[in-house]
Structure 1
């Protein structure tokens, strides 16, 4: 192999497998001399790849962990496997890795050859996940389109469905994607309304980057704080605020800031105002999973939901009268 760049990429791909490669084997694989292999190893080191050499009659090389993550070289099967995995996870908000997963997926799909992109789409469309997250499902292509426009500072157009079902067309300057653990939100400057807005991504459809670049505007506050404020004001896109009384320690551990605000009382309890008016069933189940007693203060609809959940659970635990002893 006389093409030096192509040879370096092939050598790097071999070294990224978890094994040690004797210099003679690498030379045979690439059709060059051992001296050329040594020079290529030095080139990779100059590029920041931490290649470790071992002494001995044969000698060997392997890639080790360094101070920074070097670029990876993936073959077709590896690229497809990673893209499928990232797409499967990107459809739901995954706490802790959500934003990084979408950024990685956007980067990978940007460079995937069309033949591999088709394989990824075909495999995903032919499979169904057995387990699902609490939040609404999102087409990964919607997330990657938004993420790419955000990273590239490109204006974004999309159709948007409000909580009451009203449909609008939006032209925005995207700032950040924020995950709450159940849902994705886009923080963007709405050009038609001349103000900052928060959009639920599961209500976004037909997104596309216009190609028009923009100079980043300064968001009035941190993007996460901006989403939290919007959820508290709007009740999570639902129908009012729920008030629940429970132990303060539980509230501190179980209630994320975007979901509700806890107010402690001297007796060790607290009153929590939850901003998720569109999900009473989810809230009742979440509170039940704490394993500690709680009292629904308002509204009556949440109290009824909690009562119905308790009745269903009690009925499922009770032995059937017709069951054999």
Structure 2
């Protein structure tokens, strides 16, 4: 007969696997009496699991939906599937956000070595169609998310956009997904200021074990801070454009927390940036309205190159 704590976990796993179990079925699977099953069900209820009883001769039990989310018990295959799914979502930037990252960090932290090897095998055997953005190392992402969840100071090596390398000692606060990239907002202990770091340029060092009390910063301030710092520090090319549309329409179209300055009922000013001016020109055209480049020679030149390519494409079509 298995230990009581292990038996409770096995019972919980069975209840999560199937909607209805008779007392006899549970007793047979657990190799105990039906009376022990009733006692164990009572213990699960005291822990917050909403186990419903069905009366009658063939009475049994079912796990119902509760008002709060209790801990789940996953078997090996389920744990691997969840880890791989969370990793794929992070790679694809599906908007899972910090919640998915912390879930992945929690899962991999308690996952046995044999299951970690299975997860790594799936990742290594999976190919992703390459895009313009660097591949995201999920181990780095998981380490950052784990430090945030634990309130633990994070040391890491960092490579800036110009290739300069430095060592950072931080209090990590939040990971922000923006487009296909992830950014860490952290309090830089050496510079005594907030810093924003691209996660794909971070090389974590061994855990410090030093805890800290998170600084208070509103959610909207987090996004503004990341946007402003990314614009100033990590964009290689920046430009200011005048958009021939209302600020409200532009905010709805861009779908990112850029600051839009209203200059009239159908005009607004927008600061944009990118590591690639040609990609930035393509992005601006997706606003679907006329724009003027107020500042940014690189963007203006990129528009010229784009216009010439489109004219050549049109001439090829009309010459057929």
Under TM normalisation by the shorter chain, which class is it?
0.7 to 0.9
Unaligned regions of 5+ residues in structure 1, if any? none
After superposition, give the CA deviation of every residue in 1:84-130 in whole Å (9 maximum; x if it has no partner): 111222235332x2111100011001100011111111210111124
Distance in 2, Cα, partners of 1:207 & 1:223: 25
Task: Find the residue that maps to 1:212 and give its secondary structure.
Answer: coil
Aligned residues: 316
Q: What is residue 280 of structure 1 aligned with on the other side?
A: 277
- Aligned partner of 1:213 in structure 2 is 211
How far off is 1:256 after superposition?
A: 4.3
TM-score (norm. length: structure 1): 0.86
- Flag the 1:33–1:307 CA change in 2: closer, same or farther, 3 A: farther
Instruction: State the partner residue of 1:302.
Output: 299
TM-score w.r.t. length of structure 2 = 0.87
Q: Within 5 A, what are the aligned runs for 1:193-212?
A: 193-212=191-210
8 A Cα contact 2:172 2:184, kept in partner = yes
Higher share in helix:
2
Separation in 1, partners of 2:314, 2:13: 55
Q: Which moved more, 1:134-143 or 1:39-48?
A: 134-143
In structure 2, runs of 5+ residues without a counterpart are none
Aligned positions of 1:50-199 closer than 5 A: 50-95=50-95, 97-130=96-129, 135-199=133-197
**Does 144-153 or 50-59 show the bigger shift?**
50-59
Query: Aligned Cα RMSD in Å?
Result: 2.7
In 1, the alpha carbon distance for the partners of 2:64 and 2:174 equals: 34
Secondary structure (helix, strand or coil) at the match of 1:99 reads helix
Q: Does 1:228 align with 2:230?
A: no
3-state DSSP class of the match of 1:186? strand
Is the 2:54–2:61 contact (alpha carbons within 8 Å) kept by the matching residues of 1?
A: yes
Q: Deviations over 1:266-323 (max 9, x none)?
A: 3x2323222x232434433334344x3222414343234345445556728964967x
